């Protein structure tokens, strides 16, 4: 419930100056991606899945973590602060 992952396939992308197949994973979360230690663990698991499922070399994958505050996410006609 506290992690959102966005995946968009078929986009034209250049990573490190190359248009070879690559992926960028954007992860936003309230209280789950707030520290380097947390993200190190998340990163390892995401890389395992992405390299296995997409067949990409790890150098062709970038993950961006966005820690969020509860007041930044609207849900059920309010914000997460009040849920």
Domain regions of the chain by residue span: 27-82
What integer pLDDT is reported at residue 2 of this predicted model? 62
The architecture in CATH of the region 27-82 reads 2-Layer Sandwich (3.30)
Q: What is the DSSP letter of 60?
A: G
Render pLDDT for 17-72 as a digit per residue (tens, 0 to 9): 999 999 999 988 888 888 999 999 999 999 999 999 999 999 999 999 999 999 99
Within the chain, where are the H helices? 36-54
> Over 70: is that where the pLDDT of 80 sits?
yes
β-pairing, 61-68 vs 23-30, is: parallel
Instruction: Count CB atoms within 10 A of the CB of residue 4.
Output: 13
| CA end-to-end distance (rounded Å), the chain | 12
């Amino acid at each position: 419930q506290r992690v959102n992952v966005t995946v968009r396939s078929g986009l034209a992308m250049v990573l490190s100056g190359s248009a070879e197949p690559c992926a960028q994973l954007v992860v936003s979360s309230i209280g789950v991606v707030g520290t380097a230690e947390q993200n190190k663990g998340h990163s390892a698991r995401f890389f395992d899945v992405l390299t296995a499922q997409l067949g990409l070399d790890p150098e062709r994958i970038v993950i961006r973590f966005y820690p969020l505050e509860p007041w930044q996410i609207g849900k059920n006609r309010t914000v997460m602060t009040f849920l």
